[in-house]
Amino acid sequence: MAPVSLDTINPKVLKCEYAVRGEIVTLAQAVQEELKSKPGSRPFDEILYCNIGNPQSLGQQPITFFREVLALCDHPSILDKSETRGLFSADAIERARQILDQIPGRATGAYSHSQGIKGLRDAIAAGIEARDGFPADPNDIFLTDGASPAVHLMMQLLIRSEKDGILCPIPQYPLYSASIALHGGALVPYYLDEATGWGLEVSELKKQWADAKSKGITPRALVVINPGNPTGQVLAENNQKEIVDFCKKEGLVLLADEVYQENVYVPEKKFHSFKKVARSMGYGEKDISVVSFQSVSKGYYGECGKRGGYMEVTGFGPEIREQIYKLASVNLCSNISGQILASLVMSPPKVGDESYESYSAEKDGILSSLKRRAKQRLSNTASYTVCVVYAYYSLGISDAQLTLEDAFNKLDGVTCNKAEGAMYLFPCIRLPEKAIKAAEAAKTTPDNFYCRRLLNATGIVFVPGSGFGQVLGTWHFRCTILPQEDKIPAVVSRLTEFHKSFMEEFRE
Amino acid sequence: MAPVSLDTINPKVLKCEYAVRGEIVTLAQAVQEELKSKPGSRPFDEILYCNIGNPQSLGQQPITFFREVLALCDHPSILDKSETRGLFSADAIERARQILDQIPGRATGAYSHSQGIKGLRDAIAAGIEARDGFPADPNDIFLTDGASPAVHLMMQLLIRSEKDGILCPIPQYPLYSASIALHGGALVPYYLDEATGWGLEVSELKKQWADAKSKGITPRALVVINPGNPTGQVLAENNQKEIVDFCKKEGLVLLADEVYQENVYVPEKKFHSFKKVARSMGYGEKDISVVSFQSVSKGYYGECGKRGGYMEVTGFGPEIREQIYKLASVNLCSNISGQILASLVMSPPKVGDESYESYSAEKDGILSSLKRRAKQRLSNTASYTVCVVYAYYSLGISDAQLTLEDAFNKLDGVTCNKAEGAMYLFPCIRLPEKAIKAAEAAKTTPDNFYCRRLLNATGIVFVPGSGFGQVLGTWHFRCTILPQEDKIPAVVSRLTEFHKSFMEEFRE
């Protein structure tokens, strides 16, 4: 007798889905293996992973200063050697010393306080204060292995049963639906309005809140992802104020996913943390519960593999704080390199520091490249190379608007909002009835069917919209803007060719 | 209205307890702050954290080779510089190159495969094969942020409701009771026999299994911690075979906590992994489900802050493996430095490598020191210093047996089994009736009362036995053997003095 079968495992695990690493990605890994063992077996020679916000996997380089400090903290015994001064910048050496001094016994190999090393939390709190102009308390900071475990922790704290609801945007980042499913709660969807650039309407929040209540569900918290994933929308400050008031009025914990706070690409929008917005409205600790999630994986740093992040927890009484601390303590602490990196991204080199210039150049290079990829015309940039010209001549594209967004909007039946921030586009695709029937026959959803075909034909990995949620009967996919600029023409060219033949195949 | 109160959070969170970082530790942190702000306010000047297996917090140094490789992987751009050869050993440089070659795009800042980087899993599988003499499959390895998240993952997979039972040793490491509580299962206790050095009797397993069944509970898995935490017991191979047969017969998943596999101190015992034992009995993939947990936090490496670890998952069908992979993927991946370190501890330098000699010297130094602290007489070692002589003369101890174990056994009313392995002693203390009543009046358990008093009088942090579980009416505490050898006399001296006055105060 097998001790474990699908019939005998936790049904919440079965219910949980995580499309960002789901079927299409598993298929892509298999195709990649196939390419390795049988080169030339496919009409393409590499897999282009546009499924996940993983910048360094697509060629983005880490920020040198951050890596210098991490290396020195990993191996402090070289700090005093003369060769070290030849290899590392002086301020990285100085910063590593400062950080080591904040660690009891200078022991980067020891478990830390379960909230993270106090001195690093001090640096993070100071960074939040500088960003927001309102005080931040290091005792409110919980350092975590990326933002995901922090989200799980809050879901675990809040969800008692399927009668507890979490208001979540649709489309959403599937960490939320997965975590709510695993903890046995109810996802209460609120729909972002695609027609207004994925606008978040408070009237929609109220409607869905009332609808949940009428079904006997108690909404406990509201998830807002700002800048949005997968939508790329950046909330306007006034909109945020309405959201804060809604949470305050209905006694909802505001779970603010702010991991893309450095990724805003349009001049008319600016990132405002929800805590800052609440404080600017005069609401303090006793008025509203806000949890802000931040990660070292996004921004210009893109250090996904380091698994660093934190949550800032405000507006909870001491007895609840104690429970949050207990949950954090069961896993002892987050990894110390990730903790150090979280403190560095919140307190990077300053004007006058030896590394400041190179740091700024690296940061600006990454952010302006992301901005170009999200929005600007390639024709306006230095990247308008022979390769690009070739691609667009060969496709017969009549102008030089070769961003991904533009490319999507040029496809038959596809419309795509612009990415104001974050790292994704989430185009809508109207599929022919014949394709929808073919998907049905293949026992899958039409968006999945399209993405699977795309992968097999081109090696490009998109995530079907079903994984994020979408209005019934509409179909989308998520695509990161992360491929390096010199790869984008190839993505555009392969995608355009595929799409044309797909639409022809299924034309009514 | 506060959105969250103790009445409205997940009751499973309230139920969960984690004594290793519980009340006594919180109190210790407060006393430490007090010592900092008011030096001299206490009869001691430092807190001695004997509550947790955190070697580097108590002065153990990291293994140089491991840290060299980590630093180079953090900052690969120095690999080709000439100064680097002056700072790092040649084989560390070579190993860092090999590891980077195994990482797609050499990107240590990218999310990896959710099971961990394939090349690192290959190295770990090879290390397991070398250890056990039986094949290991890299696809069975799931790299995790320490062993704790792996344990949670398995509990989450297996537990459907409070009708699902997990057989757990008593005393146990409270991660298990905490995780079972958080996932809403039933802890089915089986008692280790203190009289036979914490022996694990299969008759006791059978009895508790039957008892659980009679209460309508379905036992799903058996947790075995070997070497034992907090008991220090190392299982004999024959005993392990009986346990394997029991699991096979009753269809139980064997959850083998093997994080102390390098920590065996007695010549008559040897570590055998449960997978090896099962394979040596002729049981393969289809016969028994075994999950082995390993961590970089223990052994001679003691790299707690790096949060590296893995589980080796065998004996599950592909459909269950897919569910395990899905759960792992929701958190994307474990931290890459921890992954690298996990591969290093399973494939350390070999004879002939440049670092081999220094590596071996560091490793042997740590393990033999731990062995002395666990077991040997200090009088036989170089550590028998003036300080020790002073301590034992001042206490009037009549011989030179100053190990912690011996010291405990000399205390009035205390008996202590020896630590054959792991990092802890778990002495039993018979408290006077008057102390038990005083604890009752203070609304706490007698062991907690004792540990609190000890902390306040001496700065020594032990964990009360209640946190691990103990036979009704018996009282224990857990103490690590990790204080550096030159500190042990002070621990012994402070403890002995305290204990004497405590027993006098509460004498009937």
A-chain residues near B334 (CB < 8 A): 145, 307
Q: Do B68 and A81 touch (CB under 8 A)?
A: no
Residue A388: the pLDDT is: 36
Q: Do A70 and B74 touch (CB under 8 A)?
A: yes
From the list A10, A105, A220, the residue facing B157 with the nearest CB is A10
Chain B residue with Cα closest to A73: B71
B-chain residues near A253 (CB < 8 A): 3-4
From the list B145, B159, B333, the residue facing A10 with the nearest CB is B159
Q: Which segments of A232-321 are extended strands (E)? A: 253-257, 290-295, 309-314
Chain B residue with Cα closest to A88: B78
Distance CA B261, CA B295 (A): 10
Give the helix/strand (H/E) hosting B205: helix B202-214
Q: Do A335 and B145 touch (CB under 8 A)?
A: yes
Q: Do B6 and A148 touch (CB under 8 A)?
A: no
Q: Do B2 and A253 touch (CB under 8 A)?
A: no
From the list A110, A175, A338, the residue facing B56 with the nearest CB is A110
Residue for token pair 């097999």:
A456
From the list A114, A149, A253, the residue facing B21 with the nearest CB is A114
Q: Please determine, looking at this structure, whether the domain spanning B11-42+378-505 carries the CATH number 3.90.1150.10.
A: yes
Residue A55: the pLDDT is: 92
Q: Which three-class secondary structure state does DSSP give residue A335? A: coil
B-chain residues near A220 (CB < 8 A): 3-4, 8
Contacts of B346-355 spanning 24+ positions with Cβ under 8 A = B346/B123, B346/B124, B346/B126, B346/B127, B346/B128, B346/B294, B347/B123, B347/B124, B347/B126, B347/B127, B348/B63, B348/B65, B349/B65, B349/B91, B353/B91, B354/B89, B354/B90, B354/B91, B355/B64, B355/B65, B355/B68, B355/B89, B355/B91, B355/B92
Helix axes B90-102, B118-132, angle to 10 degrees: 120
Sequence spans of domains, chain B? 11-42+378-505, 112-345
Q: Do B2 and A334 touch (CB under 8 A)?
A: no
Residue for token pair 């959710």:
B114
B-chain residues near A145 (CB < 8 A): 145, 307, 331, 334-335
Give the helix/strand (H/E) hosting A429: strand A428-429
Local confidence pLDDT in tens for the 508 residues of chain B: 568 999 999 999 999 988 777 889 889 989 998 998 999 999 999 898 899 899 998 889 999 999 999 999 999 999 999 999 999 999 999 999 999 999 988 999 999 999 999 999 999 999 999 999 999 999 999 999 999 999 999 999 999 999 999 999 999 999 999 999 999 999 999 999 999 999 999 999 999 999 999 999 999 999 999 999 999 999 999 999 999 999 999 999 999 999 999 999 999 999 999 999 999 999 999 999 999 999 999 999 999 999 999 999 999 999 999 999 999 999 899 999 999 999 999 999 999 999 999 999 999 999 999 888 876 444 333 333 333 333 333 433 333 335 788 889 999 999 999 999 999 999 999 999 999 999 999 999 999 999 999 999 999 999 999 999 999 999 999 999 998 888 888 889 999 999 999 999 998 7
Q: Do A5 and B148 touch (CB under 8 A)?
A: no
Q: Do B305 and A333 touch (CB under 8 A)?
A: yes
- State which fold the A114-346 domain adopts: Aspartate Aminotransferase; domain 2 (3.40.640)
Give the helix/strand (H/E) hosting B95: helix B90-102
Q: Which segments of A298-427 are extended strands (E)? A: 309-314, 414-415, 424-425
Residue A402: the pLDDT is: 58
From the list B9, B113, B148, the residue facing A157 with the nearest CB is B9
Chain B residue with Cα closest to A333: B305
Q: Do B145 and A307 touch (CB under 8 A)?
A: yes
Spell out the residues 6+ positions from residue A214 whose beta carbon is closer than 8 angstroms to its own.
none
Q: Do B64 and A77 touch (CB under 8 A)?
A: yes
Spell out the residues 6+ positions from residue A152 whose beta carbon is closer than 8 angstroms to its own.
A179, A182, A183, B331
Q: Which of A4, A255, A320 to mutate to test the interface with B (most CBs of B within 10 A)?
A: A4
Q: Which three-class secondary structure state does DSSP give residue B140? A: helix
Please give, rounded to a whole number of angstroms, the shortest distance from the CA of B433 to a CA of chain A.
Answer: 32
Comparing CA positions, the residue from A443, A482, A451 lying closest to residue A467 is: A451
Chain A residue with Cα closest to B52: A111
Distance CA B304, CA A363 (A): 32
A-chain residues near B79 (CB < 8 A): none
Contacts of A192-197 spanning 24+ positions with Cβ under 8 A = A192/A228, A192/A231, A192/A233, A194/A417, A194/A428, A194/A471, A194/A474, A197/A233, A197/A417, A197/A418, A197/A420
Please give, rounded to a whole number of angstroms, the shortest distance from the CA of B498 to a CA of chain A.
Answer: 27
From the list A71, A252, A297, the residue facing B74 with the nearest CB is A71
Q: Report, as ranges of residue numbers, the positions in chain A whose pLDDT lies below 50.
A: 376-401
Distance CA A215, CA B408 (A): 61
Please give, rounded to a whole number of angstroms, the shortest distance from the CA of B172 to a CA of chain A.
Answer: 14
Q: What are phi and psi of A271, to 5 degrees?
A: -80, 130
Spell out the residues 6+ positions from residue A324 whose beta carbon is closer than 8 angstroms to its own.
A142, A153, A157, A313, A316
Q: Which segments of B69-210 are extended strands (E)? A: 141-144, 164-170, 186-191
Edge-first strand listing for the sheet containing B424-425: B424-425, B477-480, B463-464
- Give ∠ CA B5-B11-B13 in degrees, rounded to 5: 90
Q: Which three-class secondary structure state does DSSP give residue A246? A: helix
Please give, rounded to a whole number of angstroms, the shortest distance from the CA of B109 to a CA of chain A.
Answer: 4
Q: Do A3 and B335 touch (CB under 8 A)?
A: no
From the list B148, B323, B335, the residue facing A13 with the nearest CB is B323
Distance CA B203, CA A464 (A): 54
Please give, rounded to a whole number of angstroms, the shortest distance from the CA of B56 to a CA of chain A.
Answer: 5
Q: Could you report the predicted ipTM of this complex, rounded to two decimals?
A: 0.92
Output the six-digit token pair for B368. Answer: 């033999």
Residue B329: the pLDDT is: 93
- State which fold the A11-42+364-505 domain adopts: Aspartate Aminotransferase, domain 1 (3.90.1150)
A-chain residues near B113 (CB < 8 A): 29
Residue for token pair 């702050």:
B33
Residue A182: count of CB within 10 angstroms of its CB: 22
Residue B480 near residue B52 (C-beta atoms within 8 A): yes
Comparing CA positions, the residue from B345, B75, B339 lying closest to residue A307 is: B339
Q: Do A87 and B81 touch (CB under 8 A)?
A: yes
Chain B residue with Cα closest to A285: B2
A433 CB-contact burial (10 Å; exposed 0-12 / middle 13-18 / buried 19+): exposed
A309-314 and A141-144 beta bridge pairing: antiparallel
Distance CA B22, CA B20 (A): 6
Comparing CA positions, the residue from A231, A207, A289 lying closest to residue A256 is: A289
B-chain residues near A54 (CB < 8 A): 110-111
Helix axes A64-74, A356-374, angle to 10 degrees: 120
Cα–Cα distance list, A419 to A371, A408, B137, B488 (Å): 9, 12, 43, 61
Residue B308 near residue B271 (C-beta atoms within 8 A): no
Chain B residue with Cα closest to A147: B331
Distance CA B219, CA B162 (A): 11
Residue for token pair 């807002």:
A224
Residue B23: the pLDDT is: 86
From the list B54, B81, B330, the residue facing A178 with the nearest CB is B330
Please give, rounded to a whole number of angstroms, the shortest distance from the CA of A330 to a CA of chain B.
Answer: 6
Q: Do A74 and B71 touch (CB under 8 A)?
A: yes
Q: Which architecture does CATH list for B112-345?
A: 3-Layer(aba) Sandwich (3.40)
Distance CA A154, CA B246 (A): 39
Q: Do A9 and B158 touch (CB under 8 A)?
A: yes
Distance CA A139, CA A125 (A): 9
Residue A1: the pLDDT is: 54
Tell me the HSE value of A233 on the side-chain side, using a 13 A CA sphere: 26
Q: Which three-class secondary structure state does DSSP give residue B461? A: strand
Q: Do B3 and A289 touch (CB under 8 A)?
A: yes
